[in-house]
Chains A and B, each alone.
Chain A
């Protein structure tokens, strides 16, 4: 095995050929065997393989684009499972964006936020209230529900409203240190949920526990987005923006200040980093990604109610970040994908399989043990195991290392060649 990987290392052509072969084989098997969830998952796995190849970054982006936009929707489109595959892919996209948002707060800035789903809820309700007749209850003017064309503006509005709440939460947080912060954000998440649950009186704003039904689907030039395969492309577009934004932030001045604050607040402050502004920015940016996806979520589900925004959701997103690797963008994407697919596909499939076995009398299988119900157990176990044995996650974060000599020389061309990467030491201590 080692021999094989050594041979592959450095041989880009072989890597490309292998990758293309892999994509071809998995796509073909999915194309022919539409009911096979395994083939679909294996096809998604090709993106991880792509990450580990040594191709130039630009080529990687192109290949990923081709696989995501072309291959996956096309090969799964002919069978009965099309919409369910696209649904899974869409939900994965939504969670990836949220996990990337939380990654900024927890992974880069080192602020443990246990109520992150609150921002998702705020985004969802922002669109939900105005895209149903609900807003007519308290808005003195305007014609509600707004048409589906407003969805595109609401992505931005949801982003800003969530960011605003991020700042509002951030202001008290600035006076609270470390582990108290976890508790405060946890309380904030619960408060938001309880408020949404009860804000049907005195003025009916959120329709309380009944939730908002029949949210208007997005629309552009008379074309309506109703099915998961259509939402898939919306999510993909937003996700692309989010990933680009995160990458830009990470290696900017802001990103470095976040990491400095994470490692040592006092030292960072004495280096001239504005603590208040840095932390607030982390909260606002993290929240805004979540808010955007909240709007998409509301439009996709066409139904919003407070039960979608429980503490378990916040912890789920946290598990994604921890599993993938705090501060590592590819890691967090992987973590979010793994956990979402585990949640949506694997656990239910295994439960069905076990139920089938016990129906046939092969084994006696108690209902209480159903893996679909064991989320808390699994997530708890993941958190403990990763905290103890692999705190840096599946794909550890990497920091660019600059060669001091070449920096001093100031030759830009030279410098570019010298950049190498080494593992981020942040969480290994």
Chain B
């Protein structure tokens, strides 16, 4: 059994890393908003999904105009990424302005309900527009970056088999690393980042220090949503087919990642995302083997939720978070 697991391990690692990178970036959006507003932004998964749809729509449009063939593919992708992230960024700001800001002083339960409402509304809005334009809400983008590469793990030791990956996987991982490093720099080294951390720590005191709290919250939503939207495009390029309902479960898992890393902790969210991606891929590949065929790969979602529940019960502050005691 061990030999079989080792055999597939390299491929599991590569796939898990790709999936984990996606989780990590979306988890950032959850963790940033939670850090500042103490709100689970249910709509974040839908922003990711909308990003994927905007990106694919742009790619299809550019193919139709012949631009995609005329310019280098990587340039086209960068263009799509930038435009999509700006659009979804403003979408996030709009959602905050319309659905969350009026409720900032209401009980948490009400804000959470509003967030669920936004999430459902967006799902159907995207479904409606796509179905109206294309006749079908499942969308397949133009295939890009499909060249296969192999990493020769078998040359290291014969107990491994080779791992294969596509160019898009490489692009995905590189872009995610750039986004994460950029965000980390922004939050820790710039003035606006300092303002964000201050608001997260104590909103009222921050406003006394002449920080415009509303502006900082808007900025947080903009950055989180822009990153989420860009990840959506990368997801669509990597996995090909998208539908309006991908955002919810994926968002839920990304939230799991954020909790795993300690909610409110940006580096924790990155680590949690990668970890969850690896674990999930490992479970999908080996659950059947490990349990003697009782549980198959279809239980991988259950596996992710089980991790969430276990973490919340035994270590609610997450792996890298600090425990908080509630004050009266």
Contacts and interface: CB of A to CB of B under 8 A. Distances in A.
B126 to A, nearest CB: 10
29 contacts: A112-B109, A172-B309, A172-B312, A175-B312, A178-B108, A179-B112, A180-B259, A183-B252, A183-B255, A187-B252, A198-B296, A198-B298, A201-B293, A315-B120, A368-B132, A368-B135, A374-B124, A376-B120, A380-B122, A380-B123, A383-B114, A383-B116, A384-B99, A384-B114, A384-B117, A387-B99, A387-B114, A388-B99, A388-B114
A266 interface: yes
Scoring A175, A176, A377, A427 by chain B CB atoms within 10 A of each residue's CB, the highest score goes to A377
B316 interface: yes
A195 interface: yes
B316 A377 contact: no
Given A175-B312, A380-B121, 19 more contacts: A176-B312, A176-B313, A178-B109, A180-B259, A184-B308, A186-B252, A187-B305, A187-B309, A190-B252, A194-B298, A368-B127, A368-B135, A377-B120, A377-B128, A380-B124, A384-B99, A384-B114, A387-B106, A387-B111
A256 to B, nearest CB: 19
Interface string A363-387: 0001111000111110111111011
A391 B106 contact: yes
A388 B113 contact: no
A179 B39 contact: yes
A379 B309 CA distance: 28
A374 B308 contact: no
A114 B116 contact: yes
A338 interface: no
B299 interface: yes
A289 B122 CA distance: 32
B116 A191 contact: no
Nearest to B95: A384
B324 to A, nearest CB: 10
A193 to B, nearest CB: 10
Contacts of A177: 316, 326
B301 interface: yes
A110 B109 contact: yes
A26 B312 CA distance: 54
B236 interface: no
Interface in B196-240: none
A383 B309 contact: no
B177 interface: no
B109 A198 contact: no
A387 B103 contact: yes
B74 interface: no
Contacts of B99: 384, 387-388
Contacts of B109: 106, 110, 112, 178, 427
Interface in B125-150: 125, 127-128, 131-132, 135, 137
B119 interface: yes
**Interface band, chain B:** 35 or more
Contacts of A318: 113, 116
Interface string B78-112: 00000000000000000000110011011111111
Given A183-B252, A190-B301, A388-B102, A368 B326 contact: no
Interface residues of A, number: 52
Contacts of A382: 117
Interface in A122-181: 172, 175-180
A275 interface: no
A144 B98 CA distance: 56
B294 interface: yes
Residue from the set B124, B259, B298 with the largest chain A CB neighbour count within 10 Å: B124
A283 to B, nearest CB: 15
A271 to B, nearest CB: 13
A429 B103 contact: no
Given A266-B326, A384-B114, A391-B110, A194 B309 contact: no
A266 B326 CA distance: 9
A324 to B, nearest CB: 13
B interface, by DSSP: helix, strand, loop or mixed?
A: helix
A68 interface: no
B121 A198 contact: no
B118 to A, nearest CB: 6
A191 B106 contact: no
Contacts of A322: 113
A380 B117 contact: yes
A202 interface: yes
A88 interface: no
A182 interface: yes
Interface string B268-292: 0000000000000000000000000
Contacts of A202: 293-294
A427 B107 contact: yes
Give me the 3 closest cross-chain CB pairs, A-B, nearest first: A383-B117, A380-B121, A380-B120
User: Which of B122, B294, B305 is the most central at the interface, judged by chain A CB atoms within 10 Å of its CB?
Assistant: B305
A97 B269 CA distance: 41
Contacts of A377: 120-121, 124-125, 128
Interface string A101-113: 0000010001010
A194 B318 CA distance: 26
B1 interface: no
Nearest to A387: B114
Nearest to A263: B107
A195 B249 CA distance: 16
Nearest to B300: A194
Contacts of B112: 112, 179, 182
Contacts of A387: 99, 103, 106, 110-111, 113-114, 117
Interface string B22-54: 000000000000000011100000000000000
Interface in A304-327: 311, 315, 318, 322
Contacts of B128: 368-369, 374, 377
Contacts of A311: 248
Nearest to B136: A368
A182 B312 CA distance: 12
B306 interface: yes
Contact of A179 (B108, B117, B328): B108
